[in-house]
Structure 1
Amino acid sequence: MNYLAHLFLSGDDEDLRLGNFIADGVRGQQILLYPERVQQGIRLHRQIDTYTDAHPVVAETKERLRPRFRKYAGVVADIFYDHFLAACFPLFSPVSLEDFAANAYATLQAKPELLPERVQHFLPYMIRQNWLVSYAQVEGAAQALRGLSRRTTFVSGMETAGEELLENYSFYQEEFERFFPQLQAYVEQQIVLIRN
């Protein structure tokens, strides 16, 4: 899953949300440098990724993407799923996507000392361009994938992923709709375990 999903699945706990968001920038024993609740958020992020990567519905999505995007199929799937979460946000939250995004950005800016260098670098761009809200439009997801494509070492094809999303929109939406409620249920169980 991508940024929006990780932030959303963290619930209202700001430290859990912060950890879940920064996890990709935290390596190995660096986790021990963070407060306990942030550490739990980092671990939750990793559990979400493991669950997602092993899920049969996600495998269907990646299988459709693999001929065109090869090893980047999972990255493209993550952005596609964030698109559908953003586009259907009122189905999942009583809070508007705009309000959720503003609150998430405020949470992330509140503790700059806890942000890894990589996150400190891209967060201002993320906020200025309002990535979380932009994902709701196909063009916003396509723009995110074009940006990722420019940063890959190998030819990724991700610059054409917006076309793929439009061509097979209903297939990807149906897979997201089957998968995401299962992911939500899994994460809710994990959060209960964290709290106990």
Structure 2
Amino acid sequence: MNFLAHLYLSQNNTNILIGNFIADHIRGNNFLMFSKEIQQGIFLHREIDTFTDAHEIVRKSKRRLHKRYRHYNGVIIDILYDHFLAKNWTNYSAIPLDIYTQGIYNLFTKKTTELPVKSQQFITYMIEYDILYNYQFEDGIERVLKGMNNRTKGKSQMDLAIEDLKELSPELENDFTLFFEDLQEFTNQKLKKLLYNP
């Protein structure tokens, strides 16, 4: 899953949310300088990624994509699933998406100096382009995909995946809806273990 889903699945626990957000920028056991709850957020992120990668519905979504993306298809599905979460946000949260995302931006602005440098750099980009809020729009997703393609120096062809989104949106959205039910149940169980069985 991508950033919006990881944040949402943290269930408004600030330290879990921070750990969940920075986890991609933490390698190996380089988390030991963080508080216990932030470490738990990092562990939760890794558990979510493992569960997602192994899930049959996610694998089906990857197979729907054009073959040109090769091993980048997982990254694309992560981004497209965030699109469907943002697009259908009212089904998952009583807090409007614009208010929720501004709360996230405010939190990370206050905490930025405590976070890894790569996380700080992404926060600046995320806020400047209002990435989390704009995930709901096709042009917002297109901007993210173009940015990811630039990062791979054009090798991934991820900028072309906006075509897959337009062509396969109903099928991929259905995949997301079914998968996200399973993921929420899995995450709820993991959070209980992390928070109440330290």
The equivalent residue for 2:170 is 170
Is 1:31–2:31 an aligned residue pair?
Answer: yes
Q: Is the 1:34–1:114 contact (alpha carbons within 8 Å) kept by the matching residues of 2? A: no
The equivalent residue for 1:184 is 184
Deviation at residue 110 of structure 1 after TM alignment? 2.1
Aligned letter for 2:118? R
Deviation at residue 93 of structure 1 after TM alignment? 0.3
Q: Is the 1:18–1:107 contact (alpha carbons within 8 Å) kept by the matching residues of 2? A: no
Aligned letter for 2:44? L
Q: Secondary structure at the match of 1:28?
A: coil
Matched residue pairs, number?
Answer: 196
Q: Is the 1:72–1:156 contact (alpha carbons within 8 Å) kept by the matching residues of 2? A: yes
Q: Is the 2:66–2:164 contact (alpha carbons within 8 Å) kept by the matching residues of 1? A: no
The equivalent residue for 1:81 is 81
Aligned letter for 1:30? N
Aligned letter for 1:142? E
The equivalent residue for 2:67 is 67
Unaligned runs of 5+ in 2: none
Q: Percent identity?
A: 40
Unaligned runs of 5+ in 1: none
Deviation at residue 122 of structure 1 after TM alignment? 2.1
Q: Deviations over 1:153-176 (max 9, x none)?
A: 561110111111001111101100
Is 1:110–2:107 an aligned residue pair?
Answer: no
Q: Secondary structure at the match of 1:30?
A: coil
Deviation at residue 29 of structure 1 after TM alignment? 2.0
Q: Is the 1:19–1:42 contact (alpha carbons within 8 Å) kept by the matching residues of 2? A: yes
Aligned letter for 1:70? R
Q: Deviations over 1:128-172 (max 9, x none)?
A: 211001000011111101100000156111011111100111110
Aligned letter for 1:106? N
Dislocated runs of 4+, deviation >6 Å: none
The equivalent residue for 2:48 is 48
Is 1:11–2:24 an aligned residue pair?
Answer: no
Deviation at residue 113 of structure 1 after TM alignment? 2.9
Q: Which moved more, 1:54-63 or 1:145-154?
A: 145-154
Distance in 2, Cα, partners of 1:142 & 1:130: 14
Q: Is the 1:16–1:38 contact (alpha carbons within 8 Å) kept by the matching residues of 2? A: yes
- TM-score scaled by length of structure 2: 0.96
Distance in 1, Cα, partners of 2:119 & 2:159: 23
The equivalent residue for 2:128 is 128
Q: Is the 1:62–1:74 contact (alpha carbons within 8 Å) kept by the matching residues of 2? A: yes
C-alpha RMSD of matched pairs (Å)? 1.1
The equivalent residue for 1:194 is 194
Distance in 1, Cα, partners of 2:36 & 2:111: 15
Distance in 2, Cα, partners of 1:100 & 1:38: 20
